[in-house]
Amino acid sequence: MRLQQKLSSDFYTRPDVVTIARDLIGKYFFSSFDGVLTGGMVVETEAYSGTSDAACHAHLGRRTKRTQIMYEQGGVAYVYLIYGIYSLFNIVTNAEGTADAVLIRAIEPIEGIEEMRLRRGLAKVEPRLTAGPGLVTQALGISTQHNGTQLSGSEIWFEDRGMLVPEDQIIAGPRVGVAYAGADALLPWRFSLKGSRWVSKANPKYPQ
DNA sequence: GCAATGATAGGCT
DNA sequence: GCCTATCATTGCC
């Protein structure tokens, strides 16, 4: 058994996106562009559950140029632009024809910290490096051009490095910034690692 | 330290 | 023309 095992298609094609989002806490997220390796341990995720979830871009079966990638078989990247500025990175999960995805909200930096600091334009290493979905993509050099990237490839991937996270170390709570979704905004589909300083700060606009 | 505000572009009606 | 799965900056309200 290898110590560093890239997550395979089987991990992403499972049917329960909420389980996958929880399982991703403690896994490792990397990018490698032009030989520059950057990434770290996933400490915060959110699940978006296809056509039945009012917070999901594919709600009610919506199919647009933007959302079509969500209907692919699990194991590809869904990257979209939010507020005209930030790229948000998601993993498409489940079978072809479903539209589930997991948003990566925060990581603990492990590899290529100096390169990530430069990409973020920070003077020092602090939570602002990777504690937020728009910050993780900046730190890893990911943008909307990476929409559709296969996670089985060599540019963007996830690894299991044997980190075992006890269930009681994972916090479940409502997702961030989805107040428009009505009752679905209350679903406890945001997961984070208890006690990690690298989890994004709660948005005071949406108190829990 | 904190709340209020502005940036900025594409999806959608 | 409005809204957005956000974050940096401003100003102390």
Mean pLDDT by groups of 10 residues along chain A of 208 residues: 84 98 98 97 98 96 96 98 97 98 98 97 96 98 97 98 96 94 95 96 56
Render pLDDT for A143-187 as a digit per residue (tens, 0 to 9). 999 999 999 999 999 999 999 999 999 999 999 999 999 999 999
Could you say which nucleotides of strand C lie within 7 A of any protein CB atom?
3-8
Residue A133 approaches strand C within 7 Å at CB = yes
Residue A85 approaches strand B within 7 Å at CB = yes
**Shortest-distance nucleotide from A121 CA to C1':** C8
Predicted local confidence at residue A132, as pLDDT: 97
Q: What is the 3-state secondary structure (H, E, C) of chain A?
A: CCCCEECCHHHHCCCCHHHHHHHCCCCEEEEEECCEEEEEEEEEEEEEEHHHCCCCCCHHHCCCCCHHHHHCCCCEEEEEEECCCEEEEEEEECCECECEEEEEEEEEEEECHHHHHHHHCCCCCCHHHCECHHHHHHHHCCCHHHCCCECCCCCEEEEECCCCCCHHHEEEECCCCCHHHHHHHHCCCEEEECCCCCCCCCCCCCCC
Average pLDDT, chain A: 95
Predicted local confidence at residue A206, as pLDDT: 47
Domains and CATH numbers, chain A: 5-193 (3.10.300.10)
Q: Work out the percent of chain A whose per-residue pLDDT is above 90.
A: 93
Closest residue by C-alpha to C1' distance, nucleotide C7: A134
**Distance, CA of A208 to C1' of C8, in Å:** 24
- For residue A178, give both structure tokens: 């989805």
